[in-house]
Structure 1
Amino acid sequence: MGSSNRPYWRELHASFSLEIEQRAEIQAKGVKPAGLNLIDVRCVDLHLTENCKAHNTNLFEQTTGPLRRLIIRRGQSFDLTLHLSRRYDEKVDALAFDFSFGEKPSVETMTKRIVPIGGLDDELSQKWGAKLVMTDHNSIVVRVQPGASTAVGEWRMSILAGKRVNDWCQNFYLTYVHPEFIFILFNPWCKNDTVYLNDEALLQEYVLNDQGAVFQSSNKEQYQAVPWNYGQFEDVALYSALIALRQNDHLTDRERSDPVLIARRLTHAINDKVLWGRWSEPYTGGTEPWRWTGTPGILEKYLSNPEKAAKFGQCWVFSAVFVTLCRTLGLPCRSVTNIRSAHDTDRTLTIDRVYVRNERTKKFEPAKGCDDSIWNFHVWNEVWMKRNDLAQGYDGWQACDATPQEMSEGVAQCGPMPVEALRKGEVNVGYDGWFIFGETNADVVSWYYVSDRSVPDGRRLLRTEIDTSDVGRAMLTSSVQDSFFAENITDSYKPKEGTQEEREQVRHAIRSGVAEDRSDVLSLFNLHRVVEIKDVEFEMSDLDAVTIGEDIVSKLVLRNTSEETRTARIQLEVNVMQYTGKIDSTIFELFDELSIKPNTAETFGIKVDAKEYSERIGEHSQMCVTAFVHVIETDQIFNAKDVFQVIKPQLIITLADSKITLNEAATVIVQLVNPYGHQSLTNCNLYLEGAGIARQLAVEIPRVLEAGKTLTIEQVVFPRRPGKRRVLAAFNSDQLSNVRGVLKIDVSG
């Protein structure tokens, strides 16, 4: 962090903290020249209610309550009433606004704007301007318009007064300094703004909706909508976004007008300053990622000490925080869940899986040292903007990823990358196209080795296989009609899997030059391709989901279609896994060798009792059945993994009273049935949250919930915002975690 930038963001942090704590602001005064009878500005009426409603910022917490702040959007005019020391004479008096931004504002960097009254001829203009609307005794109403490319953030406003002489203004002096910041945001309602989005339904969902869901899944048929309180209108959201951007040495004040650079820098700021990522135990000293129910609680911890990130996050938490900070700044944003998401570390656009046969056990085992991986799901984001920095055809949704994975330009940042470019395989377009493309459409190449002392490295390549359809099975985002319903947007990232168009997309990406080593990989692959004999057919159960408390039942059928006996070595496992694809524990394991007579079939049945797995499932409750079969006579290999979801119970949330009134006590009732008939739940805890209802609230509940029993708890909340709201709840225990529930309510008043 540069020392020159540190004092200013600290100053901002101190100022914002004072506002949150409702401390007084100090107004600066100008020095008036003597003997000129110059006009003075005594005070300014910001027309907060009218302006904020017109600018779609009236939901911000800063615009209501005792410390009200003006929040406006660039490219759109707003009215101010100036109360003066005497009646305003337009022919004699000259008034001008002085807007300044950042630590060292200047006209050259467009962070200082002198805006004379009378300089706004066209409200459709993209430029700064101000005009007189009306005069009333010692007051005037002035209409001010910030330019459509204004830097986004906290602006200072002063007013200069002087004499008008033959259309020239003389003797300007500082007559008024506004004591608080005026916040200027992106304006997706403004045609001249590069984030303009001409669809009111999309604006309501991707800018104004402060509650929704992030999707988690192991397959495209079965997904879990995790309720989330984005809370972009809470006071901590806007302040956190501005402090995080100020902490970023790679973003100048002038660049704060560019949504491309702001989105890019935010991906880094979130994982570097706001939230600390961790994917394994221990989580001591922080909050486990799955215990968060919304962004405001994370940002409160961050703002309490911006030099120490909140702990801890994983991909869906990073994505949710990114949504909050983008929407609070006015950037249309949504989360995107990629099912079967690849992490290609060597830019080959392949995910290499290497298996080596253990000559002692005769089992094929994954080789160590391979960094490529496939996550069951990964969550990133899209932001909507025009890409003036690129050729035509790349406007619209741009993929961004705040989860720290690969370094880009020396830091952990990713995007924005045009989704349209990804679909065409144009991965050289800015930014980080190779990595995001690999996440969605890398090919999986499997290499099977056996020990052989006659070759230099002691192992001989037995077989190679390629799977072109495993990665990027589906991309899901919140539907505009219902945030808790997933919309499949896979087609915007790639053509239908297996089609000629989809294969051409991959070839185009390879030809772009980023996959430098892929030709070497595939030439080695093709060198070892042999005429394969595949006369044993395999059929494996496909489990989408199992409800917790039910037994896991699966089977593998081997059918010998040849006229000769086949010998098969079979490895079967049932595992509990993390969403990153890593195995947590093995519940069931079988290794066998059998002979299959000509034109006959053998079936292996798998059954795992509920009590054997229920206590071991993790926070994402994902499991897999893995089958690995090696046919000795032909070296035919069958390697399959069936990933499925264990469905947990949901929290049932109701209201004690059907009518909910603004700022009045309301009783929320939460119920949960322990699904285990044999096991008590220990170390139980419950959190409640809702935008405009409550920030993450720890509810006092019994620490133990006995087997088969029902937990019923009541909690009083005080709704702070009218309209349609949602109450979110999350339950965790040692044996059962990440249990969620949501209730829609309508707050009157």
Structure 2
Amino acid sequence: MDGKLYVQNQTRHKTDGLSSSTLVLRRGQAFTLLCGENSFQNHIFVLYPDIHTFLLTAGPVYVEVPVSVSGQPSLTQWTAVLERCVLNPTGPRAFSVSLSSPASASIGAYTLQMRIKTRLSVKTHFLCQFTLLCNPWCPADSVFLQSEDLRTEYVRSDIGLLFKGSPRNIVPNPWSFDQYEKGILDICMQLLQLSPQHQADIGKDLQNRNNPVYISRVISAMVNSNDDKGVLMGNWSNDYSGGVSPSQWSGSADILRKWAETQFNPVKYGQCWVFAAVMCTVMRALGIPTRVVTNFNSAHDTDGNMVIEEYYDEMGKKLSFSRDSIWNFHVWVESWMKRPDLGRGYDGWQVLDPTPQEKSTGMFRCGPAAVKAIYERKVDAQYDVPFVYAEVNADVRTMIVRNGMVLSTSIDKRRVGTLISTKHPGSMRMQDITSEYKTEEDYVSEKHKSHYGVPQGSFQLLKPPVVGENISFIVIITNNEAAPKLLRKHVNAQNKEYNRNPTGTFWEAHDDVKMAVTIQHEISFNDYMLTEAAEDSLVNLAVVIEDVKSQERVLASEEFNIRSPSLNIQIQNEFSVIINTPQVATVIFTNPFSVAVSGELTVSGSGLLEEKAQMRCVKCVLLPRETMKKPVNFTPRMVGAKMLSASLVLENPPTVLHGFKTINVQAS
């Protein structure tokens, strides 16, 4: 195909920038072909248009499209219309043909040929190969999204934030979706080709690819490697030997390329935010509007009873008696599509979760579960609505036990799904979408209820905890009777991972108190310091208040994260960054720790850096309060909002630091 026409087609189809070995088009939209007279005897178009036919093949599936002299493109079937004769003073004439696909065409790689029948022969000529994607710009497409701003954000944007941490101390992590990086679209297509569904029945799989519900279930399973030749292997063991710690990934291209370059062996390793971010890349590349969503205090209900059981001993130590758990945060994606299989009212955002937690019809995948079905508690709706409903709405039953006997029980109906969030369109702020999943009754916290005669306890952090600093907090004990009481206070702190129950106690305090009191505590950095590199340390803090006389006990607990320090990125001439013009950024880090640190700095930016720039710190060792300033040269290759991100992996203390800067690249 003529290079100029190639660019024009991709620009009209909003696929400019996507890197593929083929022309990239969107379904439900016409594209233009030029057919030369010498090659195809196009004068026959005028005399015998019915003997020219386009042949479209995708595997064993093929479509014949007769060429007509006049007519309009159709949204329900493939059509080819002869547009005009193109005069060329220096060469043969050519004919312009408009070929259009139905809005429900199957996505995938197609081969386009033309068959010309004459009295003497039938000849078939190869024209081109093209990749067909979903089309959220086409009202007849089942992924149509009405707002141009939202299409820009959820299909075309290649930058994002993944929210982690805890509801009171949210940590935004930058992520580069990388769908415009070289070869990434072709790799995304290979996920479909390598799926068990395609391997079992190629024809059936290709026909089903007209439906985003089907496509999304295939991708949800293929992003993890549990049942197939999928992309990522999950690992929550803290032993990441033989691979990369999930905290060290900052973009999807490295992961997808590594998968393709190793003959589709799983990439090591992923956790929930990595699975979700890679799925977001694939879905946006395929043309399905998608966003990454974080659910804080996310329940993993293993027995389907919508209740999470938690057990503590009388000293405030959380026990691992239950297979159920509450993840401090869990990350999935939502994709926008129609749901005719569910009836009226369930179109729109659908939850899809590629993290391998539970099987859905025999494979580790989840969704698409309509967000409106979750909101309406329609737990009989496909797919996996009960599981997602429990993630955001399960009750928490907490028990204090001793020698197998339950000493006290409390139920919390508000803790799970405390906050559900995503990146705000057009900015790097957080958007609270809790109300899309939960009714006001479900998520507005109850006021604290005092129980006469029973002492109460609560926590208050004096400042947001930061790695390298001590944790300062107060325990507030309230005696609800006028007469003094002898009370015992047990405070227990445990390290935990975001997706499971905590491990052993690393700090505790026990006191006798006789009245209402506020007691301040401090946990030193040496007490909680991690042994493995992570972005944020998580702590489960619990207090048990015991009435010595009545033996009644109450428990209060809170899980919080200890944030890592941030990297600062400054851009020279920040407000005049021009495409194809060299620029300089500086990554700045001041060592806040009381010990010297060393580590490796990685800087990346899709559309800004040709390849990820990986470099050691300016100084192998940074002394306490010493500042590192590392210049990074880059040349923007694309116009629009781009992001430069940096991560610094420190060896001692083992932690991962992040920083990012958004850049508005202007045309020259």
Give the structure 1 partner of residue 201 of structure 2: none
**Pairwise CA distance, 1:306:** 3.7
Give the structure 1 partner of residue 660 of structure 2: 742
Pairing partner for 2:75 from 106, 114, 125: 125
Q: 1:448 to 1:589 in 2, by over 3 A?
A: closer
Q: Which residue type is aligned with residue 481 of structure 1?
A: G
* Alpha-carbon distance between aligned partners in 2 of 1:416 and 1:667, rounded to the nearest angstrom: 43
Q: Is the 8 A contact 2:581 2:635 kept in 1?
A: yes
Q: Is the 8 A contact 1:320 1:335 kept in 2?
A: yes
Give the structure 1 partner of residue 264 of structure 2: 307
- Computing the radius of gyration from Cα coordinates, the structure with the larger value is 1
Give the structure 1 partner of residue 86 of structure 2: 136
Give the structure 2 partner of residue 629 of structure 1: 545
CA displacement 1:86-127 (0-9 Å, x = unmatched):
45232235321101112x22xxxxxx1111111873325322
Q: Is the 8 A contact 1:543 1:642 kept in 2?
A: no
Bigger mean CA deviation after superposition, 611-620 or 256-265: 611-620
* Alpha-carbon distance between aligned partners in 2 of 1:192 and 1:552, rounded to the nearest angstrom: 56
Q: Match of 1:436, SS?
A: helix
Pairing 1:727–2:644 present: yes
**Pairwise CA distance, 1:584:** 5.6
Give the structure 2 partner of residue 681 of structure 1: 597
* Alpha-carbon distance between aligned partners in 1 of 2:596 and 2:242, rounded to the nearest angstrom: 27
Report 1:206-221 matches (<5 A): 206-219=154-167, 221=168
Q: 1:101 to 1:144 in 2, by over 3 A?
A: same
Give the structure 2 partner of residue 238 of structure 1: 185
Give the structure 2 partner of residue 40 of structure 1: none
* Alpha-carbon distance between aligned partners in 1 of 2:320 and 2:540, rounded to the nearest angstrom: 21
Q: Which residue type is aligned with residue 77 of structure 1?
A: A
* Alpha-carbon distance between aligned partners in 1 of 2:120 and 2:552, rounded to the nearest angstrom: 91
**Pairwise CA distance, 1:709:** 0.8
* Alpha-carbon distance between aligned partners in 1 of 2:571 and 2:399, rounded to the nearest angstrom: 57
**Pairwise CA distance, 1:690:** 1.0
Q: Match of 2:373, SS?
A: helix
**Pairwise CA distance, 1:583:** 3.2
Pairing partner for 1:644 from 548, 551, 560: 560
Give the structure 1 partner of residue 348 of structure 2: 396
Give the structure 1 partner of residue 522 of structure 2: 607
Q: Is the 8 A contact 1:275 1:311 kept in 2?
A: yes
CA displacement 1:144-194 (0-9 Å, x = unmatched):
00111111111111111114xxxxxx777343113x530000000001110
Give the structure 1 partner of residue 111 of structure 2: 156
**Pairwise CA distance, 1:563:** 5.4
Give the structure 2 partner of residue 671 of structure 1: 588
**Pairwise CA distance, 1:577:** 3.0
Pairing partner for 1:379 from 290, 312, 331: 331
Give the structure 2 partner of residue 420 of structure 1: 372
CA displacement 1:430-482 (0-9 Å, x = unmatched):
1011111111010001233333xxxxxxx433332111011000100111131
Q: Is the 8 A contact 1:680 1:705 kept in 2?
A: yes
Paired residues in the alignment total 640
Give the structure 2 partner of residue 570 of structure 1: 489
For structure 2, the residue ranges without an aligned partner over 5 or more in a row are 88-92, 199-204
Q: Is the 8 A contact 1:343 1:373 kept in 2?
A: yes
Q: Is the 8 A contact 2:414 2:443 kept in 1?
A: no
Give the structure 1 partner of residue 15 of structure 2: 57
Pairing 1:496–2:440 present: yes
CA displacement 1:10-41 (0-9 Å, x = unmatched):
xxxxxxxxxxxxxxxxxxxxxxxxxxxxxxxx
Pairing partner for 1:712 from 625, 629, 634: 629
Pairing 1:323–2:242 present: no
Q: 1:144 to 1:554 in 2, by over 3 A?
A: same
* Alpha-carbon distance between aligned partners in 1 of 2:195 and 2:70, rounded to the nearest angstrom: 35
TM-score (norm 2): 0.90
Give the structure 2 partner of residue 559 of structure 1: 478
Q: Is the 8 A contact 2:317 2:505 kept in 1?
A: no
**Pairwise CA distance, 1:206:** 0.3
For structure 1, the residue ranges without an aligned partner over 5 or more in a row are 1-42, 106-111, 164-169, 358-362, 452-458, 504-531
Q: Is the 8 A contact 2:27 2:102 kept in 1?
A: yes
Q: Match of 1:389, SS?
A: helix
Pairing 1:462–2:407 present: yes
Give the structure 2 partner of residue 620 of structure 1: 536
Report 1:166-565 matches (<5 A): 173-178=122-127, 181-219=129-167, 221-251=168-198, 252-272=205-225, 273-355=230-312, 363=315, 365-451=317-403, 459-482=404-427, 484-498=428-442, 534-542=453-461, 545-562=464-481
**Pairwise CA distance, 1:390:** 1.6
Q: Is the 8 A contact 1:688 1:698 kept in 2?
A: yes
**Pairwise CA distance, 1:657:** 5.5
* Alpha-carbon distance between aligned partners in 2 of 1:282 and 1:566, rounded to the nearest angstrom: 48
Q: 1:119 to 1:591 in 2, by over 3 A?
A: farther
CA displacement 1:690-722 (0-9 Å, x = unmatched):
111234331232332222111111233333323
